[in-house]
Chains A and B, each alone.
Chain A
C-alpha cells in the first residue's frame, strides 16, 4: 500500500474496543505493514466514551488529524457523532446499531412526564452522518452475532464488515487469521461465522 490508511475506532468502555484494535494490529503486522495507534485508556470505569486512533502505512503522529480518517468503526452508534470531526468527507462508517444511552439521557426521558422526550434514534444519527458521508454500513451486529452462535462475537462482525471496503489495506485472510488467533478458543467457530456474516453484510451495504 502507499500512504496511510486511518481508522477511528470508537465505542463505550467495556465493549471490547481494545480487542478489536489488537486484532487489526496483529493482522497488519503479520501482513508486513506498519501500524501506530493513539489510544484512550482512561480510567477503568465502564460506560465512558473511548476511542483508538489506528493508523496503517506511514503514520508519524499517533493521532489522526481532523478530517483524515478513511474509516470509522463504531461499536456503539452515537459515538460516531462524538468523533465525527475525524472522518473525511465520503469516508466509510462501519457501525453497530446498538445505542447505549447515557444516564443523563435516561434521566431526561424518565422525568419528562409528557413522554415527549425520546432517546436518540439510529435514524437521527444516520441523518447526521450523511452530512459527511454516504458510505455507511449500519449493522445489527448483535443479531448477526447471535446468528453466528455467540452474542459476544460482535467485534468479529464489525471487523468482517470493514473488509468489504475496497481500499482496506490488510488482506482478508490475514485479518481472519488474527481474529481466530486472538479470540477465546471455545468461540473460534462462532467468530469465524461472525466474520463472514459481517463481510457479507458490509459488501451488500457498500455494493462491493
Chain B
C-alpha cells in the first residue's frame, strides 16, 4: 500500500496500486535499466522506481527528456544485454512510436517491456486515444491486465515473452487499472548485482532499411505466428464457464465490471477474458463463438475487439448475434462502470437490473445543483498565475488583446484556457505551439505568441524553436521555468539540478542555449515581482524575430517541499481588514483558492492553511492590501 510493499521480501498479499504492482513485477524480473518521461496515469511508476532506487542500488534509472528517448534508452539497454522497462501515457507512444516501429523489425535482445496507459474519459489527457492498435500495426505483442495482481503477473510474463521471441512487449492499461489498488501475491525478489557487459558478448544487428527491412519483415511474420501459437495457450486468455448460449468477450477493467454486473444480476454467462490484444488467440475465440448464439463484447473506446471478433465469427459462426457498439448497446465514448455493463446484460438476458441507476443519477443531479464547479486552477503560490496576469496586462497596455494569437502548450499553464484568463487559441500536443506558430506567422497579420514550460521545452519544443529562428519568424515565446515537470507531480527534467532518485544531474543552461541559437531577445522575469514583469513582456512582444521571455520561479509545491526540508516556514498573508478596500482584483483577475470574501464585512479573507505567502496578490491589488503576517 506504500512503497514499502515494493521492497518486501515475503509473499504478501500486499495491497498495491497497480502502478506499484508493475514496479514490483519488474523488480522481481531483475530489471536493470528503467527510463521514463512522466504522464498521468503512469507517473507513479516513475516515482516509485525513483523512491526505491537507492534501496536496491542494482538498477539504473533515468528520467528522460521525452518518451522516445526513454523507449530508445531501454531498447539500447536490451540490445546491450540487460532487462529494461519503460512506461508512458497513451500519447507518449505517439512520440515514441517512430523508433518503436523499427524495433518491431529489428527485434531486441534481453527482456524489454513498455507499458502504455490509455485514458478513457480523458481524465488527464488531450484525447481518448485508443492505443490498442499500436501492437498490431507494429507487429509488437501487446497484453492487457485488469487488476493489480494481473498487472504484476503479466509484467513478469512479458519479460519472458520478450526474451523468448526477442521482441519488445507492450503492456496496455487504462487509467482505471493504473489507479486501482488490489491485493497482490508477491513473487520472489531475487536481484542480481549490476554488471557492465562487453558488446562482443551480447552483440546483434539492429539495422533496418530496404532489402534488410524486407528480409526482417518476412521473419517478423514468422514471429507473429509463433507468438499467436503461444498466446492460444497462455493462462492470461481464459474462460470463466457459465450456462447457456449467450456469452461475453471482454478484456481489461471491463472484465471486472462484467463480473460484478453478472453477480448483481445473478447471471451465469460464460466469459472469455482476453489478456493478449495482439496477437489475439483467434482459435480460442473461434471455439468460444461456436458454442454461442449471442456474444456480448464489452470494451471501452473503439470496437477493437468487436471488429476482429466479427471477422473471426464470419468463419467460426456466421449466424451469431454480436452485441456491442455496432448494435448500439455500447458507446465508443467515455469510461464504463458496473451500471453501464449491468444495463446491457440485463437488456440482453432479460434478468432484472439490481437497482434503478437512472433514478439515482437523476436525483443526484438535482441534489448537486447547488454546487459550483471546481474547475482546475493554479495552486496557491503558483508562479504561472503571476506570469499570465502580467501577460494580460501587457496586452491591455499595448491594446492588442484582439490582435494576437496565443498558442498554448501542455503543462499546468494550459489552464490559461480556463477562467480567469480564458485565453488560448490552441493546445494540441507537447511542443505543438511552435510549429503552429510557424504556420500562423506565415499567414496571419496578428502577433503570434507561444508558451511552453521547461519540461515541454526539452521534450518536443526544440525542433520547433530552431525552425522559428532559422526562418526569422516573428514570434514571442514564453518559457515557464519552474524547475520541474509540475503537472504530473513535480518530477525532475533537464532544467533541474537533479534527476531520478534525487541524484545530482546537470541543469541545462536555458539562457545560453537560446543565446547560442540566436534568439532576437531574451528577457528574464520573476513572476513574484508581478508588476515588474509587464514592461519586459511589452518590450519582447514588440521585437522582430523570436523573442523569448523566461519566467523564473520554482513550482510552489516543489518550492514548499524544499522549504520544508530546509526547515523554513511558509508565512501566509495576514487577513488585512485595515487595508482591503473590497476592490476584488485578487478575486476577479487572480483566482487564488486561498482567498475568500468575508460575508460580513465583504473584505478579503485569507485561508491561512492554504495561503503560500507568495504575495503575488499584493502585486495585483491596486492598493497593495495583502502583507505577510508579522511574527
Contacts and interface: CB of A to CB of B under 8 A. Distances in A.
A47 B13 CA distance: 34
B590 to A, nearest CB: 9
A155 B526 CA distance: 37
User: 5 closest A-B pairs (Cβ-Cβ)?
Assistant: A85-B364, A62-B180, A60-B260, A37-B181, A65-B338
**What is the size category of the interface that chain B forms with chain A?**
35 or more
B11 to A, nearest CB: 14
Interface in B344-389: 354-355, 357, 360-361, 363-364, 367-368, 370-380, 382
B376 A45 contact: yes
A111 B374 contact: no
A107 interface: yes
A119 B599 contact: yes
A63 interface: yes
Contact of A41 (B40, B147, B602, B609): B40
A36 B379 contact: no
B617 to A, nearest CB: 13
B179 A65 contact: no
Contact of A45 (B177, B367, B378): B378
A14 B611 CA distance: 12
Interface in A113-129: 115, 118-120, 124-125, 128-129
Contacts of A109: 597, 599
A48 interface: yes
Interface stretch (A95-103, A156-164, A169-177, A197-205): A95-103
26 contacts: A12-B374, A22-B2, A26-B15, A35-B181, A35-B183, A38-B179, A40-B123, A41-B44, A42-B124, A45-B415, A47-B593, A60-B256, A60-B259, A60-B260, A61-B253, A62-B180, A65-B260, A66-B357, A81-B367, A100-B593, A103-B419, A103-B587, A103-B592, A107-B587, A110-B582, A119-B599
Nearest to A131: B367
Given A41-B44, A44-B487, A45-B376, A66 B1 contact: no
Contacts of B367: 81, 84, 128-129, 131-132
Contact of A43 (B124, B363, B372): B124
B9 to A, nearest CB: 17
A66 B340 CA distance: 10
Contacts of B419: 103-104
B501 interface: no
A120 B371 contact: yes
A67 B1 contact: no
A186 interface: no
A25 B181 contact: yes
- Which one of A67, A128, A131 has the greatest number of beta carbons of chain B within 10 Å? A67
Contact of A61 (B2, B40, B257, B599): B257
- Which one of A63, A105, A131 has the greatest number of beta carbons of chain B within 10 Å? A63
A103 B371 contact: no
A147 interface: no
Contact of A22 (B1, B264, B375, B584): B1
B412 interface: yes
Interface string B447-486: 0000000000000000000000000000000000000001
B355 A68 contact: yes
A180 interface: no
A29 B5 CA distance: 12
A118 B599 contact: yes
B342 interface: yes
A100 B607 CA distance: 9
B1 to A, nearest CB: 5
B4 to A, nearest CB: 10
A191 to B, nearest CB: 17
Contact of A105 (B147, B372, B379): B372
A38 B2 CA distance: 16
B256 A43 contact: no
A128 B582 CA distance: 32
Contacts of A62: 147, 176-177, 180-182, 253, 256
A70 to B, nearest CB: 14
A67 B355 contact: yes
Given A41-B40, A65-B339, 19 more contacts: A12-B374, A22-B1, A41-B179, A45-B377, A45-B382, A47-B610, A59-B260, A62-B147, A63-B257, A65-B354, A78-B371, A81-B368, A84-B368, A85-B363, A85-B364, A100-B610, A104-B419, A110-B597, A115-B599
Interface string B231-275: 000000000000000000000010011011001100000000000
Contacts of B129: none
A122 B42 CA distance: 37
A37 B263 contact: no
A35 B149 CA distance: 12
Contacts of A131: 363, 367
Contacts of B379: 45-47
Contacts of B602: 110, 115
A103 B179 CA distance: 28
Interface in A51-84: 59-63, 65-68, 78, 81-82, 84
- Which one of A14, A34, A104, A151 has the greatest number of beta carbons of chain B within 10 Å? A104
Contacts of A150: none
Given A44-B486, A131-B367, A65 B337 contact: yes
A103 B355 contact: no
A125 B376 CA distance: 22
B372 A108 contact: yes
A135 interface: no
B371 A60 contact: no
A100 to B, nearest CB: 7
A8 B179 CA distance: 15
A87 to B, nearest CB: 9
B339 A45 contact: no
A47 B593 CA distance: 7
B365 to A, nearest CB: 8
A105 to B, nearest CB: 4
A65 B342 contact: yes
A170 to B, nearest CB: 13
B155 interface: no
Given A66-B339, A131-B367, A43 B488 contact: yes
B374 A49 contact: yes
B41 interface: yes
A61 B181 contact: no
Contact of B1 (A25, A40, A68, A84): A25
A34 B372 CA distance: 36
B595 interface: yes
B489 interface: yes
A106 interface: yes
B310 interface: no
Contacts of A78: 371
- Which one of B41, B337, B557, B588 has the greatest number of beta carbons of chain A within 10 Å? B337
B490 interface: yes
A120 B370 CA distance: 8
Nearest to B415: A45
